[in-house]
Structure 1
Amino acid sequence: MKDQSHKRHIAKTLTWRIVGTLDTVILSWMISGSPSIGLKIGFAEVITKMILYYLHERTWFNINLSKDGRVLESRKRHIAKTFTWRFIGTLDTMLLAWWISGNPLIGLKIGFAEVFSKMILYYLHERFWYRFNYGLTNRKNN
């Protein structure tokens, strides 16, 4: 199962990055007023977020929350993953937005707006992926 899980986590990383980048580009453009800054922030985070997201997925995969040795998948787990990922992702976006725009206030505004939009999008992404067994050979549904 572990060998197959890498394929799943890579696929989830790529699909989330598409959704996340589009959200960041739109929010950054709206907040900064500059499509150029929006695109720069969105594309700068593609690499940092893919690395961070993959590490986040691997960490959560290795966290065993059930008594019988299975990795527990539930709405509570998805909510916990949503909050831990959002903290990491927002911090990364705020720092990148500050660095690219040169304005710490733009970084804070984008980070604040993103907390809400990304948590909703991430939860929906997790629920979407939970319905598919891609990369999971012996998953037992809860």
Structure 2
Amino acid sequence: MDITKKISHTFLNQCGGMDLGYLWDVALGCYSWMDELVNLPNEYNPEEYFFKSLKYLLDNKLCKLRSNSERLSNAEIEKLTPGEQLSLVKEIWVGKEEMDRLDKENQYMGWWFLTSCPYYLAHKKIDKNGNIFWLVN
């Protein structure tokens, strides 16, 4: 399994598809998924794989981007392509160094996602009758 799929599947299966902050944690190497890989690139970049995994989740309709702000409504976001939704997250992304600084300053891992990120994820669930619904944790 390639790294992007491994991160995405770890996010869905071990984190329950909870939110962008958890996807970031997985991209950073949390949840032991890296231990299962034979070949991790020497120049592994968590930001690159965060966005590759987010693209995979959106392209395959495993997750939906949702809004916490009045900037865009969820109805407006749903009209966008997965690529356009990905661009929304890239536009507001502050980068690993800034997130690390905020986490340390506030003594809370994921501070930027908790306080400043205007987007979150809903993930697809299918019940025993085959009905699809979108869950936000």
Structure 1 length as normaliser, TM-score?
Answer: 0.32
Asked which structure has the greater CA Rg, the reply is 1
Structure having the higher helix fraction is 1
